[in-house]
Structure 1
Amino acid sequence: MASTIEIENKSKEIETEILPYIRVYKDGTVERLMESPIVPPSLQNPETGVSSKDIVISDHPSISARLYLPNSVQSNPKKLPILLYFHGGGFFMESAFSFLDHRFLNLLVSEAKVVAVSVEYRLAPEHPLPAAFHDSWEALNWVTSHSNSSDTNTEPWLHDHADFKRIYIGGDSAGASIANYLALRAGVETLKGNANIAGAFLSHPFFWGSTPVGSEPNEGASHLHARIWKLVYPSAAGGIDEPTMNPLGPGAPSLATLACSKLLVCVAGKDALRDRGLWYYDAVKNSGWEGEVKLFEVPDQDHVFHIYNTDTTAAKQMIARLASFLVSI
């Protein structure tokens, strides 16, 4: 039987839809058609032993996060690296509290032995970009503010267990685009606590542009990625070439200013975004950036495969590679 909401929405006028992902009605109602369910945090996850809890970073704007702590802290008092993580979903779907991201972070934190902060940033179209970028910058500064030991208003898991000389940022798809934005912004703005970003990983980054790269189709504004970008950032001055979507677009900051010493770019062989990820990796290498950039490609896999199918050999290899990167400094 159809729900009351479904019946009501059948009579509404659709403003835009990108199937099978999202439908937006002219009255402002939004239907997200493909999302994993929200799940609660847990103390000592049965599979990994990782503990998690939800916290509020800011009320205005509304920014929250799920924190993760490996069970190794019980037996080892050594301070751990910090991972500030950003989920994917095209800037319009999914959540830091979703089943898929919760499962992935539990596995990654268990293997890497890091303290993780998974950010719940605001989503488009209710909160169009650059809201997610601004929320993520606030979240990064909230984390780095804990590096000042004289501040009494701190989160205990960070204050007691985190090594603020080893701050990492990273994300998948749209989350990878956020990580790139933060690394570039931190290159020109000082973070709270005068903290530095040690490294960043970009998994299957959601980059695009008006000029095709590699094997990308020449479909212009009709392409799925261009339609998503128009939905999530309708005011973007450069359209699909706005620098947060096209890091080599007109007016984009130099990649030589990335504010980290290590960078890992991950691509998947069957991902429609693969060539754009390779293009970004080559651009960083040739930018004059003084850090160390590595590429990790998993053939015969599709976009964010390691989030959807964590039990596969390929996903385990991907998680192991991310884990090794997070303890490499």
Structure 2
Amino acid sequence: MIESMASTTTKEIVSEIPSYITVFSDGTVERPRQAPIVPPVLDDPNSQVSSKDIIISHNPNISARLYLPNTHTHKLPILVFFHGGGFFFESAFSKLYHEHFNIFAPKTNSIVVSVEYRLAPEHSLPACYHDCWDALKWVASNSSLDQKPINEEPWLINHGDFNRVFIGGDSAGGNIVHNIVMRAGIEPLPYDVKILGAILQHPYFYSSYPVGLETVKSPEEDLCYLVWKLVYPSAPGGIDNPMVNPVGPGAPSLDGIGCCRMIVCVAGEDGLRERGVWYYELVKKSGWNGKLELFEQQDEDHVYHIFHPESENGMKLIKRLASFLHE
């Protein structure tokens, strides 16, 4: 009897991507690479920006960290940002992204809404796509002059320019940007708010076949494949599902992208570099009539600008995105 009870309470590994995530039989999840969570700071004396956390929805749980430059004399562009982390770790509230946006927001003179969406595997895809779309709808709802939105946000109402709404994201967040901008092409946002531009930084896309200079790997050794299997195990079409393969079976045409401008950022040493260039070429050939740009930084690795925003190349990218937001 004692042995039987012990066997039912043993904590066993259900699934794992070593050094990234371990899922246990009791439902607990370990994320070794998760950066520490830090609080927002109003009128931060050590930076040129104020930050605060807001609730967007209680059911499901969606929240965000907002960043507002301390010096502003006119309405600012709004960047709705989706963080990276393979859909299964990282946070809008982590030290990594907080430090990045403390630099980014004042340097680009923009309001940032950094979205905290639900993570896999506790909430498998497509949950995060729905959360991010709902967050974008909430931002747009603050544009109404006649009807107050749920959880109205004074920073957006008083300082945001709803004619200059952008979405952006890095890595998995870049993938989310693609899926959100495709949805925006067929589904309107509240009060006819439009996405002016999209920023995809080192976006995560994949397929069952290699592109560019990629080497062929077995699924068991392929990190991109393992991540997709973990976060969306029931994905129709598997690794060729249109949410990760933009031209997979059944994917809508890229000429329906729902914004006017797009910039795809890649890094020369990044394992996802080929996918970013591939996506850029796919959009370029799709017939989409927006303005498309490719920004490449040689001799840098995946999301270098998030890890080292104050580096020479990190600042170079921030400067380029500042121009993109204010064109």
- Give the Cα separation in 2 of the matches to 1:129 and 1:210: 19
Deviation of 1:295 (Å): 0.4
Alignment of 1:106-117 (within 5 A): 106-117=102-113
In the other structure, the counterpart of 2:128 is 132
- Give the Cα separation in 2 of the matches to 1:47 and 1:170: 26
In the other structure, the counterpart of 2:85 is 89
- Give the Cα separation in 2 of the matches to 1:220 and 1:289: 34
Once the two structures are superposed, residues 157-184 of structure 1 have per-residue CA deviations (whole angstroms, 9 ceiling, x without a partner) of: 1111111000000000011111111110
- Give the Cα separation in 2 of the matches to 1:149 and 1:37: 39
Asked if 1:122 is matched to 2:118, the reply is yes
In the other structure, the counterpart of 2:155 is 157
In the other structure, the counterpart of 1:4 is none
- Give the Cα separation in 1 of the matches to 2:101 and 2:250: 35
In the other structure, the counterpart of 1:57 is 56
Question: Which secondary structure does the structure 2 equivalent of 1:198 belong to?
Answer: strand
Q: Is the 1:146–1:193 contact (alpha carbons within 8 Å) kept by the matching residues of 2?
A: no
Deviation of 1:326 (Å): 1.1
In the other structure, the counterpart of 2:265 is 266
Deviation of 1:221 (Å): 2.1
In the other structure, the counterpart of 1:182 is 180
- Give the Cα separation in 2 of the matches to 1:218 and 1:299: 23
Question: Which secondary structure does the structure 1 equivalent of 2:139 belong to?
Answer: helix
In the other structure, the counterpart of 1:37 is 36
Asked if 1:289 is matched to 2:288, the reply is yes
The TM-score with structure 1 as length reference comes to 0.94
- Give the Cα separation in 2 of the matches to 1:120 and 1:238: 28
Q: Is the 1:109–1:116 contact (alpha carbons within 8 Å) kept by the matching residues of 2?
A: yes
Aligned equivalent of 2:196, options 195, 198, 215:
198
- Give the Cα separation in 2 of the matches to 1:184 and 1:31: 33
In the other structure, the counterpart of 1:145 is 141
User: Which amino acid is 1:276 matched to?
Assistant: R
Question: Which secondary structure does the structure 2 equivalent of 1:68 belong to?
Answer: strand
Question: Which secondary structure does the structure 2 equivalent of 1:72 belong to?
Answer: coil
Deviation of 1:12 (Å): 2.1
Alignment of 1:164-179 (within 5 A): 164-179=162-177
Q: Is the 1:210–1:220 contact (alpha carbons within 8 Å) kept by the matching residues of 2?
A: no
In the other structure, the counterpart of 2:96 is 100
- Which 4+ runs in 1 deviate beyond 3 A? none
User: Which amino acid is 2:298 matched to?
Assistant: P
Q: Is the 2:76–2:109 contact (alpha carbons within 8 Å) kept by the matching residues of 1?
A: yes
- Give the Cα separation in 1 of the matches to 2:163 and 2:319: 22
The TM-score with structure 2 as length reference comes to 0.94
| Percent identity of paired positions between Structure 1 and Structure 2 | 55
Deviation of 1:220 (Å): 4.1
Question: Which secondary structure does the structure 2 equivalent of 1:69 belong to?
Answer: strand
Q: What is the aligned residue count?
A: 315
Q: Is the 2:171–2:201 contact (alpha carbons within 8 Å) kept by the matching residues of 1?
A: yes
Q: Is the 1:86–1:179 contact (alpha carbons within 8 Å) kept by the matching residues of 2?
A: yes
Deviation of 1:71 (Å): 1.1
In the other structure, the counterpart of 2:239 is 240
Once the two structures are superposed, residues 56-110 of structure 1 have per-residue CA deviations (whole angstroms, 9 ceiling, x without a partner) of: 000000000001100122xx1x111110001000000000000010111111111
Query: Which structure 1 residue ranges, 5 or more long, are not aligned?
Result: 1-10
Deviation of 1:314 (Å): 1.0
Asked if 1:312 is matched to 2:317, the reply is no
Query: Which structure 2 residue ranges, 5 or more long, are not aligned?
Result: 1-9
User: Which amino acid is 1:86 matched to?
Assistant: F
In the other structure, the counterpart of 1:219 is 217
- Give the Cα separation in 1 of the matches to 2:75 and 2:183: 27
Once the two structures are superposed, residues 298-321 of structure 1 have per-residue CA deviations (whole angstroms, 9 ceiling, x without a partner) of: 001000011112232111111111
Aligned Cα root-mean-square deviation (Å): 1.0
User: Which amino acid is 1:188 matched to?
Assistant: I
- Give the Cα separation in 1 of the matches to 2:201 and 2:81: 11
User: Which amino acid is 1:122 matched to?
Assistant: R
- Give the Cα separation in 2 of the matches to 1:253 and 1:60: 29
Deviation of 1:139 (Å): 0.3
- Give the Cα separation in 2 of the matches to 1:307 and 1:163: 25
